[in-house]
Amino acid sequence: MEYKLAVDSSKKFKNLKSGLSYCQYGVLKEDGKPVDCGDVPADVETAEQKEKYRPQVLTKCVCTPGTECKSVIANAGVASVASTIFVRVALGTLLERFGPVNVQCGLMSFGAFWVAMAAAITAPWNYTLIRFFIGCAGATFVTNQFWCSLMFAPNVVGTANATAAGWGNLGGGVTQIFMMSVLFNPMVASGLEPNVAWRVSMVVPAVMFVVCAICMKLMCWDMPTARNYDPTVTGKTQKPSMWDYVEVLRDVRVIVMIFQYSACFGTELAMNNQLATHFRTYFQMDAGDASALAGAFGLMNLFARSLGGISSDIAFKYFGFRGRIWAQFLALFFEAIFLFSFGNVDNSQPWYVALAVLVCFSLFVQMAEGTSYGIVPFMNRKQLAVVSALVGAGGNLGAVIAGFCFYKPIQDALLPFQVHAGYVMFWALLSPCYYWSEMGGMFHGPAQSEKGKTQSGEYQSHAESVTTSENCM
């Protein structure tokens, strides 16, 4: 048989270092390398023949070798995302009961314990369990956004929320570099066994978690003029309850925002899982170069998310609340356009073409994250904590949707990106759903009877009673 392939598709089915094939059955090229893995024949007899793959050929992993390791890592990832979603939702009530400082300190202290416990991992089950509990610390994002919404005036809240969240995401990439370059590699170079070095390295971030929590508790206030949070500042007169979630979820605008955030932050999480593998297998790059190109996506957090918040605030200044909605729509719209474009860059083109499109795509993904939380503080002021929590959980939900619905192992490596772009575009086009009589919507200003009131209603009156926007900065 003669194959004219732009890429050696057998690369996905062999060890990249040894070149040995680990797919036992399927279509073979003339040199005997598999092009695609097929089903196990029905007439095989031995246990070894009944295996679709040869696990011993796969790259050795941290936990266990072969397909078992890949399964363990995947299951642990699902457990981590599940715990993050659950805790993010629960924080809506906890923030109102205990205030952002106490909740944030509690989450970081809880996370510190489990990060330290990671040094004691001995089996797949406790690896998965510890990933589950560490995932709870990912809910600190909700506290971050709720806290910023309390501390900053409405004309700059978009920039504040976006910058705090963007630099938080950037911290994830910095941590990976720090753990390897500053901790693990020097320890191994000094003579420690790798299995010991990575365990000792885990103690350092755990200690930093605790130091951060202590400093926060001693030096930070919940609100600009009060150490402890008071729910009445948002106009809420009843105690927090589960009914708050029902009330919020009855608002179709909140539902749209949850899924719009799933279309931007969820997309970022999905790309973090997919890009390195895509560059490595589809463009036949080595692991180091593939990781570097994939890292360019996350590096945009340095400024892109802040740019989204800034654009939302500028649009608000000149066009009122409809400006924030248009900023959100345009960011999501161009995110979808560039994601679809990335899904059309095939391997007949140089890798730098894919990188150029990826950078533009990443810019609008993270701008959309920033514009989202430029709108959230205005959606339901009385239920600010619950809205912040549900929208934050929507981001992780988006990663789950992408993983289960779009990025399945199929022969067409580009189709998942194209389908995902359609998902983003669908939610972008629902932006006209955002309309409030006192603030207006995409195509309408405030209702005639509301024109005498300040933009953002109770939010504005509270901000003015606390401080001027200049003092907030």
Residue 153 counted as domain residue: yes
Do 24 and 128 lie in one domain? The reply is no
pLDDT score for 195: 86
pLDDT score for 462: 42
Residue 405 counted as domain residue: yes
Do 192 and 273 lie in one domain? The reply is yes
Residue length of the chain:
473
Range of the domain at 38: 1-57
**204 burial level (CB within 10 Å; 0-12, 13-18, 19+):** middle
Do 263 and 137 lie in one domain? The reply is yes
Residue 468 counted as domain residue: no
Are 380 and 251 in contact, with CB atoms under 8 Å apart? yes
DSSP string covering 28-84: E-TTS-EEEE-PPPTT--STTTT-SB-GGGSPP-SSSSHHHHHHHHHHHHHHHHHHH
Do 221 and 119 lie in one domain? The reply is yes
DSSP string covering 179-221: IIIIIIHHHHHTT--HHHHHHHHTHHHHHHHHHHHHHHHHH--
Do 176 and 86 lie in one domain? The reply is yes
> Using CA atoms in the order 359, 360, 366, 369, what is the torsion angle rounded to 10 degrees?
-160
For the chain, count helices (H), then strands (E). 18, 4
Name which of 260, 375, 372, 362 is nearest 304 in CA terms.
362
Q: Domain boundary residue among 17, 34, 57?
A: 57
Give the count of domains, the chain: 2
Residue 189 counted as domain residue: yes
Residue 309 maps to which CATH number? 1.20.1250.20
Whether the full predicted model's pTM is greater than 0.85, yes or no, is no
Beta bridge partners of 21: 14
Angle between helix 140-151 and 351-379 (nearest 10): 60
pLDDT tens-digit readout, 276-295: 878 887 887 876 678 778 88
* 473 residues of the chain, pLDDT tens digit each: 333 333 344 444 555 455 555 566 655 555 555 555 566 677 766 665 666 655 544 444 444 344 455 567 767 877 888 899 999 999 998 998 999 999 999 999 999 999 999 999 888 888 899 999 999 998 999 999 999 999 998 889 999 999 998 888 777 777 877 888 889 889 999 999 888 998 999 999 999 999 999 999 999 999 998 899 888 877 777 777 788 999 999 999 999 999 999 999 999 988 987 888 788 878 878 766 787 788 888 888 889 999 999 999 999 999 999 999 999 999 999 999 999 999 999 988 988 899 999 999 999 999 999 999 999 999 998 899 999 999 999 999 998 899 888 987 677 889 999 999 999 999 999 999 999 988 999 998 887 655 555 444 444 434 444 443 333 33
Residue 412, C-beta contacts closer than 8 angstroms, at least 6 positions apart: none
Residue 111, C-beta contacts closer than 8 angstroms, at least 6 positions apart: 133, 134, 136, 137, 140, 209
Q: Which two tokens stand for residue 234?
A: 């948002």
Do 137 and 264 lie in one domain? The reply is yes
Do 50 and 113 lie in one domain? The reply is no
Do 150 and 38 lie in one domain? The reply is no
Residue 156 counted as domain residue: yes
- Say whether 274 sits in a helix, a strand or coil: helix
Do 151 and 51 lie in one domain? The reply is no
Residue 70 counted as domain residue: yes
Name which of 81, 77, 133, 145 is nearest 107 in CA terms.
133
Q: How far is CA 224 from CA 120, 136, 230, 315, in A?
A: 42, 27, 12, 26
Integer Cα distance of 293 and 354 in angstroms? 9
Do 315 and 389 lie in one domain? The reply is yes
Integer Cα distance of 98 and 216 in angstroms? 15
Do 6 and 78 lie in one domain? The reply is no
Residue 240 counted as domain residue: no
Residue 138 counted as domain residue: yes
- Residue holding tokens 């939900």? 397
Are 290 and 280 in contact, with CB atoms under 8 Å apart? yes
Do 9 and 77 lie in one domain? The reply is no
